[in-house]
A and B are shown apart, each in its own frame.
Chain A
Amino acid sequence: MTALLTLTVLVLVAIAIWQMTKIFELSQLKAENAEIATDSDNKYNGYLLFGFLIFIYGITIFSFAKYSKVLLPEASSAHGGEYDQLMWVSFAIIFFVQFITQALLHYFGYKYRGEEGKKALFFADNDRLEFIWTIIPVIVLAGLILWGLYTWTNIMEINDEDDPLIVELYAQQFNWTARYGGDDNVLGDASVRLIDIDRANVLGLDESDPNAADDILVKELHLPVGRKVNFMMRSQDVLHSAYMPHFRAQMNCVPGMITQFSFTPTVTTAEMRLNPDVVEKVKRINGIRAKKAAKGEPNSDPWEFDYVLLCNKICGKSHYNMQMKIIVETEEEYNKWIAEQATFKETIASVE
């Protein structure tokens, strides 16, 4: 594929150079011609404008046919469904407008290409037309704004209803740590000024705070399906952004403050692995990886689908590899897993 594309580029560049030298020679021969578009220039460029319209539609269709499959699978969070719906409605509007306006623009470019002696229409304004195309965007956008704001307010309202699981996402260059509130589901106080690496207090928990004793620090985020999770986010050094694309969730982690996001996971990792789109994607990627493995290239181990948390705010050299695995599982699996994790108190004690 790469070789083919490189070859195509070379061929195209060669053609371009050949054509340009030809054009250059032609322009030298007819030295008396001014550099102003003639009727034949208008004609050819008019045709090309029409061709360009076809190109725009073509690249749209091509991209959809070829790249739709790379898009994210259906949302795995409670609010994600509404997010996806709003997205698709917005896209429908966008493509409708795009289809019409590009058609008019390029078709007019072709249709009204200049000819010697042709008379253009002196058409300076028309209040009715202008009113129409002011009011239509106003109405459409008002609808989108209202829908968007309604959804936004719902997503961003973070409260303690429905017994949410409290989890801290802690960012640092270049890794993530998750902290659970433990049995009391309350996070202990913490500050970067209390960090004591030698005593394994890497998140700066306040050892005198009883709420901190049962906190659990882990490097893999486990979430029970169907239970709301309230994320409290902290960063110890620079800006990071906790991006969980499968859950349509993202929030920056800002040093000096705690930011929040909340969602309810609705699909377990195991279920997601059976989703037809995901099965297809995994198959495709493992095909690519098998080819790489055959050539002895790196990053070629077979892949199994997992949710993932990415850093999505430039944070330094290894920004591109700052990630944490997310596992959504049933309540029982989650309870079993969390019971096996050491509490903060136990960790401190084991160091001492």
Chain B
Amino acid sequence: MSATGHDDHGHHHKETFITKYIFSQDHKMIAKQYLITGVLIMGFIGIAMSLLFRMQLAWPGESFPVFEALLGKWAPDGVMDADIYLALVTMHGTIMVFFVLTAGLSGTFSNLLIPLQIGARDMASGFLNMLSFWMFFVSAVIMVISLFVEAGPASAGWTIYPPLSALPMAQAGSGAGMTLWLVSMAIFIASSLLGSLNYIVTVLNLRTKGMSMTRLPLTIWAFFVTAVIGVISFPVLLSAALLLIMDRSFGTSFFLSDIFIQGEVLHYQGGSPVLFEHLFWFLGHPEVYIVILPAMGIVSEVMAVNARKPIFGYRAMIASILAIAFLSTIVWGHHMFISGMNPFLGSVFTFTTLLIAIPSAVKAFNWITTLWKGNLQLNPGMLFSIGMVSTFITGGLTGIILGDSTLDINVHDTYFVVAHFHLVMGISALYGLFAGVYHWFPKMFQGRMMNKNLGYVHFWVTAVGSYGIFFPMHFVGMAGVPRRYYENTAFPMFDDLTNVQVLMTVFAIITASVQLVFAFNFIRSIFYGKKGPLNPWKATTLEWTAPQEHIHGNWPGAIPHVHRWAYDYSKTYENGDYILPGQDFVPQHIPLQDNEEELHH
């Protein structure tokens, strides 16, 4: 699709309801489809599940009418069953990691922003893009259907380690529920690959004139590198899933060996569950960066816009993204220090893991410096960006403990891990997502804006609540409480931790309820949100030059050309005057002014 050939694009397609809202090939519509399916619907299900099992943890064995209403036969007399507890934990993890934070976050913002910020009419292939969304939709439907299987959904943990996930005799959830889980994930991976390839091609080929790689906004860099990691690592998860399907259904022994269960010896011989762990984490670890990098990109952009300052260390930020991406593919073994793999491998993975702290630290310092001497416009998106840096630091620092093979021995698989990754990738990625939604809502919904006061309520309650849930959780982990325990009453030594569990659950309920404020604000603003100006946040990037009304092809006339990087905020001449009189930013499509120096960055 060349820029010149489409100058009078816009009105000559006859769009039906189906081509416009359902099988749309327009990246802006697909972005909204991802947002609503991935974040709003799947996010609601995932968070609701976490509340159910948090209630069980705080008040073990207690009867709640809500359990009976939602879980039916899995909660006789309102008391949660141990099998469904594991199922809830498993499905919460699966849904949040894959459906909300991978597809929901990347799918929404890569689709929305890549064409708009690089100055392209649409994605390289609109059809593949549509296919990618609908495959995601099908996989989400299958995953939701699996919740209703008679023997229960998958319940071997979101990491589905065999043999537990491979043998229906080991656990009820490893029957039809696990089959559907694997089918859903296989489709999900195909969808993710189609999406990622499209993002990569679009960023490489469809940048407008003047938009060199070093003028790209950091959002695009983050989405681009995320897509690359996805293409490298998701196929490995697919192979793990396929081999697991073979072991489950066709009697192969890739992951199984020497098993005696329920009074009989099974025929499996020679396989190794450790092999599965390697394959799983070869995706699984890059996966957490697939989740966090887009959030980092969004935060970098939103923070620079609202600080009215260039992002500090643009090139260092790109270098960190690349370093994180590279290192992320060689650290997976830190999930397996005590899996039985060779301890020497553990040493290697400790080394690479602690190395990844360096680019992460650089990013955090650069964000903090971006705030220094800024003129901070504390919009909800900006607050979520600051919040993201805060939780990323808090959560990231404990990674120093978990990444150290020695220290991992005693906190592995305890609540310490749960606290760590929820802060560093769960909450941080969600904050990035929220920052993006508040910031680009006007771009998604024809200039309508979300209510800022509801946004402030949403942010502050969430910020306090998230720390309230996950900060005390570190202590539970360091007391030695293992994760994925249905209740801790079998160990008297954990009795004095019940009140911490209650505290965390109370915070979880408050924090989850305030997400309803966000949902309300979001849905209401689609229809009744006030229309803001074309460029409400006074940003330099190209998406704000496109008209509020969505048109196919994004710009009615020629695509704007780019003459500068994306961060000319508060740039002045030597005499202290802004480059453009009366405004503290210079959009990317404005040519260099007389006497203006293109500063080295």
Contacts and interface: CB of A to CB of B under 8 A. Distances in A.
A41 B459 CA distance: 13
Interface string A118-139: 1111111110011001100110
B452 A323 contact: no
B407 A90 contact: yes
A241 B338 CA distance: 9
Interface stretch (A159-167, A179-187, A308-316, A336-344): A308-316
A189 to B, nearest CB: 13
Contacts of A243: 413, 480, 482
A68 B141 CA distance: 45
A204 B407 contact: no
Interface residues of B, number: 149
Contact of B532 (A35, A101, A255): A35
Given A114-B376, A124-B567, A144-B354, A48 B496 contact: no
A145 B456 contact: no
A160 to B, nearest CB: 17
Contact of A134 (B257, B270, B362, B497): B362
Interface in B300-339: 307-316, 338-339
B490 A314 contact: no
A310 B481 CA distance: 9
A125 B316 contact: yes
Most buried by A among B270, B365, B517: B365
A60 interface: yes
Contacts of B51: none
Interface residues of A, number: 133
Nearest to B459: A45
Interface stretch (A207-215, A223-231, A281-289, A327-335): A281-289
A118 B375 contact: yes
Interface in B264-279: 265, 270-274
B309 A121 contact: yes
Interface string B474-489: 1110111010111111
A115 interface: yes
B272 A114 contact: no
A319 interface: yes
Interface stretch (B164-172, B283-291, B540-548): B164-172
Nearest to A41: B378
A288 B472 CA distance: 20
A157 B343 CA distance: 8
Interface in B523-552: 529-530, 532-533, 536-537
Interface in A266-318: 281, 284-285, 288-289, 298-299, 303, 305, 308, 310-318
A241 B386 contact: no
Pairs of residues from A and B, 6 with the lowest C-beta to C-beta distance, nearest first: A256-B257, A245-B480, A156-B343, A303-B492, A35-B449, A45-B378
6 contacts: A34-B532, A52-B460, A70-B500, A238-B170, A285-B492, A308-B493
Given A285-B493, A319-B484, 14 more contacts: A2-B59, A12-B510, A27-B454, A45-B378, A52-B460, A83-B406, A94-B401, A122-B310, A125-B312, A148-B354, A148-B404, A149-B350, A248-B409, A320-B487
